[in-house]
Amino acid sequence: MAQSQPRELGHDGLGEHIGIEYLEVGPEVVRVRAAVTDGIRQQYGIVHGGAYSAIAESICSAGTALGAMSEGKRAIGQSNNATFLRPIADGHVNVTARPRHRGRTTWVWDVEITDDSDHLCALVRATIAVRAAEQSR
């Protein structure tokens, strides 16, 4: 069953605006989906590339935060690089993120974005900084 973002992670305004629906969330894998609406489509009727990047950064930050919170640390997006392979015009944006590197100060995630037919539509590599809570602002 779908769940909203875990409460301990706080408010994600952009993620809520996009409509991210958390299906599975943890430090080893994060799976979400977002319904394709006019709010995330660009002028040609397909999902805006920025929506893919925003979803990826939001969920990779969430997964990193869940892994780092027990040490009193926070997760902050540092970079992401998206490659768009195939457009999504309707249905859902389905996203699965897995960490490739879990370091002391950075985590690196690989993100696959698919349509409802399980076609690979985008790949994102996201780097999330891990910092002491007092350094996060």
Catalytic residue among 8, 16, 21, 57: 57
Helices then strands, counting H and E runs in the chain, come out as 2, 6
57 is catalytic: yes
Write down the mean pLDDT value for the chain: 91
Residue 10 in this model has a pLDDT that exceeds 80: no
Residue 35 in this model has a pLDDT that exceeds 60: yes
Residue ranges of domains in the chain? 7-135
Residue spans of beta strands (DSSP E) within the chain: 21-25, 30-35, 73-84, 92-102, 106-114, 120-132
Q: What pLDDT is stored for residue 6 in this prediction?
A: 62
3-state secondary structure of 69: helix
Q: What pLDDT is stored for residue 133 in this prediction?
A: 83
pLDDT digits (tens, 9 = 90+) for 77-122: 999 999 999 999 999 999 999 999 999 999 999 999 999 999 999 9
What is the domain class of 7-135 according to CATH? alpha beta
Q: How confident is the model at residue 1 (pLDDT cuts 50, 70, 90)?
A: very low
Q: What pLDDT is stored for residue 134 in this prediction?
A: 73
Residue 45 in this model has a pLDDT that exceeds 60: yes
Please indicate whether residue 109 or residue 72 has the higher confidence score (pLDDT): 109
